[in-house]
Amino acid sequence: MIDSIARWLVRLEIVSLALVYVYFVVTDHVPLIAFALIALIWLARRRVTGRFTRRTPFDLPILLLLVWLPVSFSVTVDAALSLPKVYGVILCVAFFYAIVNAIRTRRDLAWATLWLVIVCAAIALAGLIGTDWAQGKIVSASFIYDHLPRFVQNIPRSIAGGFARNGVGGTLAFTIPLLAALAVGRTTDDGRPPTVDRDWRSAVSGQRSAVVLVALTLSLITLALTQSRGGILGTAAGLLVVAVWRERKFAWVIGAGALALTALLALGSGNALLDFVLRMDARGATLASRLEVWQRGLMMVRDFPYTGIGIGTYNPIAHLLYPFFIAAPDEVVPHAHNQLLQVAVDLGIPGLIAYIGLLVAFGVCAMRAYADLSPSPSPDRRGEQERALTIGLVAGMFAHHVFGLTDAFILGTKPGIVMWVFFAFGAAIDQRPMTDDGRFGHSSSVVRLDL
């Protein structure tokens, strides 16, 4: 009886976490019973599989991050700002391990990929019906924005009640390159359709192909409507990675872009170009204002190198201790507008080390998985879809961090869970050895994902 309950708890882990996360999104709070449920699920997994979790290359950076969170929280000047971010990080870590432990076979990976595509479509749809649109950032299209539905209201701490357009753009920078890689990854290197192996046939079908195309189209439309320069730039970089993967001839675009950039700088147009890229939050923003924001962030890291200022408190600390000259005293400047700088501001240098460790672990997992999944000469082209998934994950992570050069997702922010899902898939596809029956590892207790 106890074993049966434990198995069901483990089977329903991702569903339970999803419900908790939805509650967190709409309330900014995670009840104590939710953390008790997470602990109970981990105990159940221990009973079912003999261990709390599978080991991954991410474990050490995650441990450092979790250890440093309370250290940073102890110095925060506003617990109301920091606590939701702490909740977010803990839930993201729980999601990471839930996915890693659920994906145990190639069939599990196939179903998980299908669900990931559906989630990408849901993200684009949520952005379409819940974003605070800004007309005229790049082009004016009031005839479109005036007719868009708005069903998402009263998001906690949202300035206008909906999703921030740059946050939506940064999230889509993750998902669009992934969807593009899955869309173009259905052909082999010689241009012929692959023959899908037995495990993939049951989960990866024409239906998934249609879902990928719908999700990709919807995501591109939503990204265009955000007019997020950072999101568009990052997405373009990610799509270029996918294009070069599928056709090496696209590599010339990189060289041409480098030459064009060099020419612009030589002609004295560098400031104008940077102004265009950096003007993401307001039409009147300039390179000088963005440099001011970065300078304040560097000053915070210099003054609080070990603990950081407290996660999510850039705005009050900046106005209190490092007043702006360009930004108005009542203007909300939520973060340092650079991903790595923001992590260092929030959690200090140890937090930055943990974050870089996560990225390194992701890169290592992706490289090893891609090498293991290199196409074989056999006609079934085993691993072709896994290779497309791996490239899509890498391209999406790269695209988001190009976005992060001039913008930032604070750790624990609600859309930031997408990054942790990418981390989890990276760890899952790296699980080895893969035996002939398609099973990752050697555990006899396997929890299936295809509920």
* Token duo for residue 196: 């899908």
CA distance 233 to 407: 12
Other CB atoms within a 10 A radius of the CB of residue 330 amount to 6
CA distance 241 to 247: 10
* Token duo for residue 279: 């003007």
Strand partners, 439: 105
Alpha-carbon dihedral angle through residues 347, 28, 119, 406, given to the nearest 10 degrees = -40
* Token duo for residue 286: 């300039």
Q: Which residue has the higher pLDDT, 192 or 219?
A: 219
Other CB atoms within a 10 A radius of the CB of residue 252 amount to 10
Q: Provide the pLDDT confidence category of residue 277 given band limits of 50, 70 and 90.
A: low
Q: The dihedral of CA 40, 444, 426, 432: what is its sign? A: positive
Q: What are phi and psi of 375, to 5 degrees?
A: -60, 135
Give the pLDDT of residue 133.
Answer: 77
428, 389 contact by CB (below 8 A): no
Mean pLDDT of 61-69: 96
Q: Provide the pLDDT confidence category of residue 38 given band limits of 50, 70 and 90.
A: very high
Compute the C-alpha angle 423/424/427, nearest 5°. Answer: 90
CA distance 243 to 395: 10
pLDDT in tens, 291-307: 899 999 999 999 999 99
The packing angle between helices 106-130 and 384-403, to 10°, is: 40
Give the pLDDT of residue 199.
Answer: 45
CA distance 150 to 165: 13
DSSP codes joined into one string, 315-334: HHHHHHHS--SSS-TT----
182, 117 contact by CB (below 8 A): yes
| For residue 352, pLDDT beyond 80 | yes
CA of 312: how far to CAs of 21, 346, 347, 447, in Å? 19, 6, 10, 37
Q: Provide the pLDDT confidence category of residue 197 given band limits of 50, 70 and 90.
A: very low
Give the pLDDT of residue 449.
Answer: 42
Most confident of 125-134, 186-195, 252-261, 292-301: 292-301
Q: Provide the pLDDT confidence category of residue 432 given band limits of 50, 70 and 90.
A: low
Q: Which helix (H) or strand (E) holds 129?
A: helix 106-130
| For residue 350, pLDDT beyond 90 | yes
pLDDT in tens, 69-83: 999 999 999 999 999
Burial per residue of 362-378, b for 16 or more beta-carbon CB atoms within 10 angstroms, e otherwise? beebbebbbebbeeeee
| For residue 440, pLDDT beyond 80 | no
Eight-class DSSP state of 236: H
CA distance 356 to 264: 32
- Report yes or no on whether pTM surpasses 0.85: yes
Residue 156 Rama label (left phi>0; alpha psi -120 to 50; beta) = beta
pLDDT in tens, 105-118: 888 888 899 999 99
DSSP codes joined into one string, 75-116: T-S-HHHHHHHHHHHHHHHHHHHHHHHH--BHHHHHHHHHHH
CA of 397: how far to CAs of 52, 114, 142, 165, 239, in Å? 28, 19, 32, 19, 11
Helix (H/G/I), strand (E/B), else coil: 367: helix
* Token duo for residue 86: 């702490």
Most confident of 138-142, 172-176, 254-258: 172-176
Q: Which of 308, 319, 302 is closest to 412 using CA atoms?
A: 308
Residue 247's identity, in one-letter code, is: E
Eight-class DSSP state of 193: P
Strand partners, 434: 440
Q: What are phi and psi of 105, to 5 degrees?
A: -135, 170
